[in-house]
Structures are given as C-alpha cells and as structure tokens.
Amino acid sequence: MNRHRITLAAVLLTALAALVPAPATAGTPGPARTPSPDAPHHGVVTGARTPGHAPGRDRAVRAFADGRRAARTAAPDADLTHNWWGVFPRPGTHDGITATHTVDPAYKVSDPDNFTYAPTTKAQKSCMEVVTAYWNSGNEIWAWDWCSSPGGPAKVLPVDADFLAAYTTAAPGGTRAYSVQMILEDAATNRWSAYLYNHRTAAWSLLYRQSGNDLSALDHGWDMFEIYASTDPATGVGYYCTEARRTVFDSSAVRLRDHGTWKAASPADAPWTEPRPDGRDFLCPPLKFLQAGANDHWTVRQ
C-alpha cells in the first residue's frame, strides 16, 4: 500500500471515529436506549405473579403505605429515615407517564427493615405505582395497587436472568435499564394500565390493570429516588449507603402524556422536589443528586 492510500485510510478511520459517541464515564449512565411510547401494546409480562403474604412483605407494605400518606417530616417507624428526591408531575398535566429506569441485580439489602425504592414512578390519580424494590427478600419490580384497600404489591416480578434478558437493555456505565409506562385508558372508571417494554417482541407488555379511586391521598405524580433506611452502628451511615456504593440510580426519558401526545417532563409540569438535597438527610453524606436533564432525567449516585 503506498503512502497516499495509507493517508486516505487514516482520514477515513478518523472520520468514522468521530461518528461514534464517546463512552460514558464509568459509573455515570447517560440515557439508556429508550423505546417509543407509541410502540404497540400486546402480550403480558412473563414471570409476574400475585404475591402471597409473608412477614417481610407485610412489613414493607405497612411502611410503604404509611410513608406515602405521612408528611415529609414523619416516618413510619422512629428508627427509620424516610426521604425521597425526584420530579413531581403536577395535577392536571398528564394522563400517562413513561420512563426508563436502571436496575442493579448486584445490590443486596441486608437489614429486613430497610427498603430502597429507586426509581419508582406513579402518574397523578393512577391506580398503580411501578417500583424498583430493593429489600432483603430479593430485588423485584412491583406494581403497587393504590385503588384497593389496604393496597400493596398486586404484581411482583423478580429481577432475575429472565427479566434482564427480555425487559432490559444495556445502559452506559455497565448498568441495565427497563422502561415502564402507565396510561389512563378509561376516564369514567379511572382505569389505568401499567406496561413494561419487552425488547424481544418490541412491544409494551401488560404488567397490571386496575380501576377505581386513587387512595394515595396525593394529587400529583412522581418519578423519584426513595429510601426507608436506618443507621448501621458499625459505620454511622445508612446500611444502604455502604451496600449500594457502586449502584447508580438513574431515571431517563421521563415523558408525560397529555390528550394522546407525549412530551418530555419539564420544569413547568414536573418540578423537582427540592433543588439541592443533602446526602446527610438520606443517611449517606457522599450521595450526589444530579439533575441530568431539564426535569426528564435524574441520577443519584455516590
């Protein structure tokens, strides 16, 4: 190969390299690959089941329900810190919500009274909240029913190899991410459906459907990071602060549907719960809360 051809090859390689996005900084996910919110809806989420009663799950249900209904300064248990951060879509702004959430199968919770719900999302007045639930009985995706009493996880889906293969895609930083969608399907009965995106079938698969009155007593929606945490006496910080030190909690492509049209969550319709949280209020001083987008993308990490 002569010098002219070598020079031409080098120019072409340089041009091609410029077209390839630079890799994300390790541990810092950019937006994961997100499906169209208008993709087809068909099929049901495989592996999802109706959970039975167990002491650990019943304890989680009580803490979760009490925490949602309590004021921010209150806690369901004197030994637990309950706090959260993210975006709160305002009432009257949407009849659907969708987002792409990271999930970390390696994050293991040791203490039975500690729960990390992150990310977790709910539309205003929706009958369900879809939760990434980390607790000591195993990592799961929950469809929490807010339109029945006493409520609780109506469907649970283990974060296992089958879930990861069908419902997640690679995200920058070595994470995995799944996409969730909730839409109002009948205003007269307040019937809502929650879907997960199945990357194998390229369609939104039904996770849970319910109608009735929203009993959460909250008129707004949310997409947020949330903890129920206690202090580990050996470290002086929350158990999760140590156990999740390599976990990145990320929610991207947060979109709201209004009269059939999807748009990115914005400061006008989905304000932050607070602009600059302090990790000490979450029992984890090194925790960082990053506004990665104009209210449609957030990251919590150490």
Beta strands in 88-166 (DSSP E): 96-103, 115-122, 128-134, 140-145, 152-158
**Tokens linked to 74:** 């209150």
The pLDDT value recorded for residue 27 is 42
**Tokens linked to 120:** 């977790």
Evaluate the CA torsion angle 114, 119, 122, 124 in order and state its sign: positive
Sorted by where each starts, the structural domains of the chain and their CATH numbers stand as 22-301 (2.60.120)
By DSSP bridging, strand 191-198 and strand 298-301 are unpaired
CB atoms inside a 10 Å sphere around CB 38: 11
The pLDDT value recorded for residue 78 is 57
Across the 302 residues of the chain, what is the mean pLDDT of every consecutive 10-residue run?
A: 34 32 40 88 97 75 66 54 96 97 97 95 98 95 94 95 97 89 98 98 98 94 97 97 97 96 97 96 98 96 96
Widest CA span in the chain: 78
Name the pTM for this structure. 0.86
Residues in the chain: 302
Residue 150: is the preceding peptide bond cis (ω within 30°)?
yes
